[in-house]
Amino acid sequence: MPRVVISGYHGFKNNGDEAMLYAMLKALDQRIQGLEVVVLSKNPDETQRFFGVRAVPRHDLRSIVGEIRSADLLISGGGGLLQDVTGPNSILYYLGIVSLAKLMKKPVFFYGQGIGPVKTLLGRTMMSLVANRVDVITVRDRESKDELRNLGVVRPVVDVTADPALGLDTGEIDPGPGIAVLNSAGVPSGGGLVGVSVRGWKGQSAYKAVIARACDDLIMKGGNVVFLPMHYPEDVAVSKEIAAMMKNNPFIVERQLNFKDMLSLMTQTSLIIGMRLHFLIFGALLNIPMVGISYDPKVDRFLRLADMPSGGSVENLDYQEFSRCIESVSESAGELKDKLAGKVAALRRESLRGADLVAEILAKRANPGSGDC
């Protein structure tokens, strides 16, 4: 029976990373009979309960070594694991896990990763030393491939696929739980609901006032604004801070939502405004017109892939430009929904190719001579 270990940002109550894990597990299960998966998680009990797979503590070195030793493959990803703009810990941890696997002569698969930014000498050196030893690399956008080249990663050949979360099957979404969450938050039913996802970023504050002013405008025009936490509880605190700057009262979902509940809830929105990447990806999956706010290159990269507009960046979000962008998207909502449907269909096919490649590498390990003449 094939066994894989998955290393990623799991067990941290981050809906984007949990959605990626779910999509990966679903795609792999459909392609690889009898696959056994172990996930490295901050909260192994919660991961096991929600996903139905084994999980071990992500900082328990003895457990990690034991699991990798008995595995056929280490999967690193998806997501923006290999960057150092949030500090050195992320890149050192994930490349450390990769190095452990290579020391034990295990193949390593980068699954739909978003690479960079990598700014420090330590990070750049580590990437060159470790990533060049990886067996298969797939990335979620062309810019990540270019970043690897700039970091001196020359092997293996890098395959551009798409973010793993884009492989989610929206046919599984039940709108019922989302409607119940909105009802419990006092959000009235009906059209015109705008979903907003925000986060804090490096002590910046001016962007919050701009978002508050734009949300006031939406409410004054008869819409309802609801703030949705993608990463609990951090995003709730920022949402409350912005709401306190507003003249009108928005709604705030203050409870923790798993990614399935979030997708369910978002089916009730007609427009989304978002900072977090996977909030925008969820919106794209549901063909919801959107306005992005960039705090990281990964947001800009996805907006370009989806051909959706950016309202500006956190560092210099301008009220007039931001408002014009929201108004333009609102006026062309029907056209944008159709555009997203076509874009997402293609991106979903690319996303699922990652699982196909994992199946291929495991099949070759199980039958090492099968490709010989």
**pLDDT recorded at residue 373:** 36
Q: What is the pLDDT of residues 245-290, one digit of tens each?
A: 999 999 999 999 999 999 999 999 999 999 999 999 999 999 999 9
Domain extents for the chain?
3-160, 170-346
List the single range of 61-70, 345-354, 364-373 with lowest mean pLDDT. Answer: 364-373
Average pLDDT score, the chain? 96
Cα distances (Å, whole numbers) of residue 246 to 122, 210, 223, 243: 43, 10, 14, 5
Supply the pLDDT for residue 285. 98
pLDDT above 80: residue 371: no
pLDDT digits (tens, 9 = 90+) for 194-229: 999 999 999 999 999 999 999 999 999 999 999 999
- Give 187's contacts (C-beta < 8 A, 6+ positions apart): 193, 224, 226, 251
Model confidence band, residue 79 (pLDDT cutoffs 50, 70, 90): very high
* CA–CA dist 24, 256 (Å, integer): 23
Spatial separation of the C-alpha atoms in residues 21 and 156, rounded to whole Å: 24
What's the CATH class of domain 170-346? alpha beta
Is the pLDDT at 331 greater than 60, yes or no? yes
CATH number for the domain running over 3-160: 3.40.50.2000
pLDDT tens digits for 293-326? 999 999 999 999 999 999 999 999 999 999 999 9
Round to whole Å and give the CA distance between 372 and 39: 33
pLDDT bin (cut points 50, 70, 90) of residue 372 is very low
Chain centre to alpha carbon of residue 142? 16
Q: What angle do CA 269, 211, 82 make, to 5 degrees?
A: 85
